[in-house]
Amino acid sequence: MNKNNSEIKKLQTVDHRVPTISLCMMVKNEEKNLSKCLESVKDLADEIIIVDTGSSDRTVEIAKSYGAKIYYFNWCDDFSKARNETLKYATKEWIFSIDADEYIDEENKAKIRVLLQSADYDAYGINIKNFYIAHSPAYDINVLIRLYKNTHGLYYSGVIHNDIEESIRKLKLRVKITDIFIYHTGYLPGELKKKKGRLKILREWHKKEPDSPIINFYLASKYHAMGYESSAIKHFRKVIDSDTPYAHFRLFSYIYIIDAYNGKKDPDNALEWCSKSIKLYPDECMFNVHAAHSYSLKDEYIDAVRELKIALKKCQLVQRRLFYMEMTPQVIYEMLGEVYESAGLKDKAIFYYNKTIETDRNYIVPYLKLSRIYEQQNELEKAMESYKNAISIQPDNPVLYVLFGGLLLKTLNVDEACNCFEKAILLGQKTCEICNKLGFGYMLKGLYDKAIFQLEEALKLNSEFVPALKNLALCYQKVGDENKAVEVFTKVRRLEKR
């Protein structure tokens, strides 16, 4: 992802014939994600095979627009059966498997083309980089076989977290791990909500094999993602107590148990598990990071800072990769900023947020945290500058205009504030709160007709939004419409008495 354009062109400039590729996907109600996915792979695949398992949105329409061959499969609560259906229709030499909530960039597509020209293995492991928070550098990585020869006898197994490895072992195919990356957004909060139906399937699977470490791990992970922390801990402990040959399942179980206890606001138990984990994995920084979070929950900030500085040393000593998980100095710098901010040591917080920015100037979150501190300290020019920096990085992010507009309104930069709220609405962030703020701005400028229009727009979105009602009543007074003003004030009083 960090190569420059000339390096990518070198990868793409090859004289030999590139073997053909079938892109195989199973989908259901993926209209939000599918275009980005297919746009990223359309020039890599010689054919796109999509098996739809019952979409009721525009998924199939979008797939057809990319020339995909569409097939239909009756959903039977088994992801492997649906995935195997995609293999039936593949006609090219190689199969590349990707999910709708994933995408690939130019550098990694170029690597695939080069790899296949001299492929001396039958299947290749691809790094899946999983993002959990939007616009955050925090991620983890797991390696899955996603690129393989179109070989008779290959099949997926596993009801939910299906993989092809069992059949690859049976066929004695040769496998190699690559440095190729796919980017996965399916663990972002909004995407996880769509996957609640999988819990039922996992529970049924668990009834059949209650002692399986694999099933317990996936069931625990689902409980954890949905916030059912006690159930998650119970099943993660079963994984740790099992004789699983999968070392990364045991490792992640320790990590997620700690995270689950912190999620339950039980930092003492979390710290007990941190202590166990650090003894088992002394060179890894992840557990020190979790310990710091636990201490922060106890308001024990000195201990939190100590753990983060230990983590930072471990992280900087070697570019460590813990099985499939990475922790970067950037994440730790940001956490140090948060701890110092919580402790009231704003100057140190500012120092570490600036350190975070130094590691990646295109990451907007520390700019927003700096704005917050500067605003609290009444250093409003610095706060504004931080917002402007964030907007220069993401000029199409409506939330940034809302935040900046709020600060401008406080400082009575009314014209600029209105411009920000107008921009946010144009970018799709039309809420009753923003319409009310824009209406209030127009009211301060004496543009009462515009103010009334925006305030009425706010009330279309929430007819009982009291701040908009109060501003609307004031506007009616200003334009001399006393009857409407009294009517709206009467509604306000009725709502406030509830």
Domain at 328-395: CATH code: 1.25.40.10
Q: Which of 97-111, 112-126, 312-326, 398-412 has the lowest mean pLDDT?
A: 312-326
For residue 318, the cross-strand partners are: none
Architecture, CATH, for domain 196-326? Alpha Horseshoe (1.25)
Q: What is the enclosing helix (H) or strand (E) of 179? A: strand 175-184
Measured distance CA(349)–CA(444) in Å, rounded = 36
Q: What is the enclosing helix (H) or strand (E) of 257? A: helix 247-263
Can you read off the two tokens belonging to residue 358? 């130094």
| Rg value, the chain, Cα | 27
Q: In what order do the strands lie in the sheet with 69-72?
A: 69-72, 47-52, 21-27, 94-97, 139-149, 123-131, 175-184, 102-103
Return phi, psi of residue 128, to 5°.
-100, 115
Residue written as token pair 């008495």: 497
Measured distance CA(204)–CA(200) in Å, rounded = 6
HEC string of 425-491 equals HHCCCCCHHHHHHHHHHHHHCCCHHHHHHHHHHHHHHCCCCHHHHHHHHHHHHHCCCHHHHHHHHHH
Residue 298 to residues 131, 136, 254, 440, Cα–Cα distance (Å)? 28, 25, 21, 41
- Domain range annotation of the chain: 5-187, 196-326, 328-395, 400-498
Whether 376 shows a pLDDT value over 50: the answer reads yes
Contact between residue 98 and residue 118 where contact means Cβ atoms under 8 Å apart: no
Any alpha helices (H) in 281-431, and if so which ranges?
286-297, 301-317, 329-342, 346-359, 365-376, 380-393, 398-410, 414-426
Residue 451 to residues 180, 244, 424, 491, Cα–Cα distance (Å)? 53, 65, 17, 19
Report the pLDDT value the prediction gives residue 3, as an integer from 0 to 100. Answer: 47
Residue type, 43: D
Can you read off the two tokens belonging to residue 232? 């998650």
Structure confidence by residue, pLDDT tens digits, 433-480: 999 999 999 999 999 999 999 999 999 999 999 999 999 999 999 999
Average pLDDT, the chain: 88
Whether 5-187 shares its CATH topology with 328-395 is answered no
Cα-based torsion angle of the residue sequence 115, 118, 122, 127 in order, rounded to the nearest 10 degrees:
-10
pLDDT class of 334 with cuts at 50, 70, 90: very high
∠ CA 364-369-371, nearest 5°, is 95
Percent share of the chain, pLDDT over 90: 69
Domain at 400-498: CATH code: 1.25.40.10
Give the torsion sign (CA, 415, 418, 422, 424). positive
pLDDT class of 14 with cuts at 50, 70, 90: very low
Q: Does domain 5-187 have CATH number 3.30.56.10?
A: no
Three-class DSSP category at 227: coil
